[in-house]
Structure 1
């Protein structure tokens, strides 16, 4: 397995996006789950904010992939009794498949499509999440319409996914839609998360793959508890899945390859490891979104470390500083650092 084209050994080492830390803001505690793409000659990042009560989903914009500004909340909590009224975490928009091509969105039925999941209770990932879809015809990507019912639920799944369904990756190839998602086997401590697949011809009716999960945990090592958060793209003559592995202590990024989208072989070692003590990803380096720009591979991920004095945000009962950062295939950060984010933005 040749993973050299997928390696991003140069870490920026600073957040590119941090929660606001402001009371009553959707991202008071943390930001999470980046999804980066290109639209109308700008870079966009869809991301999730957490305020101690629930998840909401927003967009940020950038001209250089390093300096990001909040653009607007696109999926909000509400006071209704719908299945997705308390939490709504958008994780993927239908985009062009090629890793080496510009990461632009593509339409189906003259609409842009977004996959998300929702937890049924207030709090941090409380309850068994379900998966839904939303669409828009708004070229500004600010007004989204959710389908009324979830497209996948844990109750209809197998034992490995009965605890809830999470981060989605939606791919269209040769007229067939592939929905990759990770799921957990139970809601109590010590659960196992693995990655499964469902397919559809119309985005409405979905059929789970008969040999799920398509990416499974290992018996031991860095991915013995989770193989989660798939990011699936096409690279020349193979498909590549970026994901993260977890061993109940630390989360690190990995990669798997496939010739047919159904059968996957994971590389045995992490491709992005956690940082040293005190670095922004010393606990978790996980939840990938990967694009190519000007011949450089940019691997965005959620970073976490223990809280320190001066941190703008605090998550997980005040113990964690959770932000979004990036690594690259070439050292493109050295010249960007002096003119990059202000000290306040890099807290």
Structure 2
């Protein structure tokens, strides 16, 4: 596992440069005592590994901007990728203190060394504004949901050219709060200018957190995590609610998407959350942070475990 003695680690994302994996982790000091307090005291940590098991810690890599900025409160979960010119791009979730950290937006920074990051302009890349904003819960639905959701950007190349962004969001006009979770979507020709598009999926859960989109042998997958308390009534009748990581399955990166049967990696109380699937040295693996609930919160990155794929393209967790 990857653990820091005086620090909680939770959401993570990974990118490979040559034979080296770069891992990025939300972190907060354990001196806060209450694990729930970590969310508003988060910065990002960086470590490297050859095998996703043994890590070399490189310390803090990114954090909130100066007071008054749109992201002066938190810089949460994101993704890292390289453009055609070899420049590295970090897309991240930002909130500000003036709004009580309740409105989330997508930020953008770049780096030449994967550790020292410079915001592109003021850092703001995308908000729920303009054309297609009406397809989202663009304002905080006070008393209905706990935040204005727009977070956890996953950015990747579009197989047809340009770039795609997926993010955690919600749709409006849904009677049941736990049926409004969505995978938001945006497109860009250059990683700088983004066009908000309608969500590529919604329903079944109150939130689909930390999306990760990838393709295996012509089948597309959208990994996400959610809690047992965020299953819709309809979904809870189809499968026992648990907390952890599941996935959507699709025909193209734009969908159509459907919820895979069962639940990939869940337990109650939660064992592992905000997981990612990566191509490790010996095949597909899943890794995320140890949770287990507030009273016994883990706060470290668990060792990867094998991911199996059957003839129908469905995923399962193998034995260590």
> What range describes the TM-score normalised by the shorter chain of this pair?
0.7 to 0.9
| Counterpart selection for 1:204 from 192, 201, 212 | 192
Structure 2 matches for 1:1-347, cutoff 5 A? 16-21=1-6, 28=7, 30-51=8-29, 52=37, 53-94=40-81, 106-121=82-97, 126-138=101-113, 141-147=114-120, 148-156=122-130, 157-158=133-134, 159-162=136-139, 163-173=148-158, 174-184=160-170, 192-209=180-197, 212-218=198-204, 224-248=205-229, 250-263=242-255, 264-274=257-267, 282-283=269-270, 285-306=272-293, 320-325=297-302, 326-329=304-307, 333=320
Gaps of 5+ in 1: 1-15, 22-27, 95-105, 219-223, 276-281, 309-318, 334-347
Q: How far is the alpha carbon of 1:78 from its aligned partner? A: 4.4
Q: Assess, with a 3 A threshold, how the Cα gap between structure 1 residues 122 and 41 changes in structure 2: closer, same or farther.
A: farther
| Aligned partner of residue 143 in structure 1, secondary structure | coil
Q: Tell me which of the two structures has the higher relative contact order, counting C-alpha pairs closer than 8 angstroms and 6 or more residues apart.
A: 1
Q: How far is the alpha carbon of 1:285 from its aligned partner? A: 3.2
Q: How far is the alpha carbon of 1:109 from its aligned partner? A: 3.6
RMSD of aligned Cα (Å): 2.8
User: Do the aligned residues in 1 keep the contact of 2:72 with 2:97 (CA within 8 Å)?
Assistant: no
Q: How far is the alpha carbon of 1:91 from its aligned partner? A: 1.8
TM score, norm. by length of structure 1: 0.69
Gaps of 5+ in 2: 30-36, 140-147, 231-241, 309-317
Q: How far is the alpha carbon of 1:267 from its aligned partner? A: 0.4
Higher helix share: 2
Q: How far is the alpha carbon of 1:185 from its aligned partner? A: 6.0
> What is the number of equivalent residue pairs in this alignment?
271
User: Do the aligned residues in 1 keep the contact of 2:10 with 2:289 (CA within 8 Å)?
Assistant: yes
TM score, norm. by length of structure 2: 0.75
* 1:126-175, Cα deviation, whole Å (9 max, x unpaired): 3111101111122xx22111112412123553343431311010011232
Structure 2: distance between partners of 1:155 and 1:302 = 33
| Aligned partner of residue 116 in structure 2, secondary structure | coil
Higher strand share: 2
| Aligned partner of residue 9 in structure 2, secondary structure | strand
Q: Assess, with a 3 A threshold, how the Cα gap between structure 1 residues 321 and 78 changes in structure 2: closer, same or farther.
A: same
